[in-house]
Amino acid sequence: MNRRMLLAYILAPAFASIGLALIGYGDRSRRVSRPLGMIHLPPPRYDSNVSIEHALKVRRSVREYEDKPLTLEQVSQLAWAAQGITDKRYGFRTAPSAGATYPLEIYIVVKKDGVEGLPEGIYHYLPREHVLELIKSGDYSRELMYACLDQEWVGDAAINIVITAIYERTTWRYGERGRIRYVHMEVGHVGQNIYLQCVSLGLGCVVIGAFHDEEVKKIIGVDEEPLYVIPVGVKKGGWP
């Protein structure tokens, strides 16, 4: 890569955010309602006793969970693993993104007593501030389970992470290739980050692709495309 290409690539996020702001697709989510409150998350940890190699070796999809709440620290860690900012200067995140256009949004559906000290509701993660905004109060885990073709693990999990996409953030630069390839590749990166982070935290999760799109959109209350629903709970018996 020559110097000019490198410079263009490094400056891409800045141009992307200016362009997106101009055409109205900035990093705002497309929520129907206004936030009801803010939760400041504890800072994420950058180390653990579980090696990346071990996490890769033992990772499995987990569909049975202990009837135990998650801690706010664990929720913070999961949100950070999904989309946390790891380079404040350019806004780069834990998962790669085509041209740093960041088309994905993270929502957390918290069941009643699902997280210590966090009321049941639907929360939206703001990576830059590392906060959760409460966008809906109440326990929506049963409704979400019905929307996911009655998959029980959705109803059983302490939380469900819902990943949605705003395709236009990527397609305005890459056209149709952004829609049919890049955004979907990105959600795979985020899903794997969440899987590996779960192993390190003693949690279990499974990525869910089988759901009624319109029902999930209605539950979350967004005009964005849901790509994954990821139930997360304390793994029964722990990891080897």
**Within its chain, how far is the Cα of 111 from the centroid?**
17
Interface positions, 165-204, toward ligand FMN (CB under 6 A):
none
Q: Does 57 bind ligand FMN (CB under 6 A)?
A: no
Phi first, then psi, for residue 234 (nearest 5°) are -70, 125
- Tell me the window of 33-41, 49-57, 59-67, 196-204 that interacts with ligand FMN (CB under 6 A): 59-67
Rounded CA-CA distance 91/156 in Å is 35
C-alpha distances out from residue 90 to 10, 38, 86, 101, 237, Å: 8, 25, 9, 11, 41
Interface positions, 209-228, toward ligand FMN (CB under 6 A):
209-210
Min dist. Cβ of residue 235 to ligand FMN (A):
12
Interface positions, 61-80, toward ligand FMN (CB under 6 A):
61, 63
Which of 124, 125, 154 is CA-nearest to residue 221?
124
Task: Please report the DSSP string for 188-202 in residue order.
Answer: HHHHHHHHHHHHHHT
Min dist. Cβ of residue 63 to ligand FMN (A):
6
Instruction: Choose which of 40, 45, 60, 128 interacts with ligand FMN (CB under 6 A).
Output: 60
Q: Which is nearer to ligand FMN, 208 or 222 (CB)?
A: 208
Q: Which is nearer to ligand FMN, 96 or 175 (CB)?
A: 96
Q: Site residues (CB under 6 A) for ligand FMN?
A: 60-61, 63, 151, 206-210
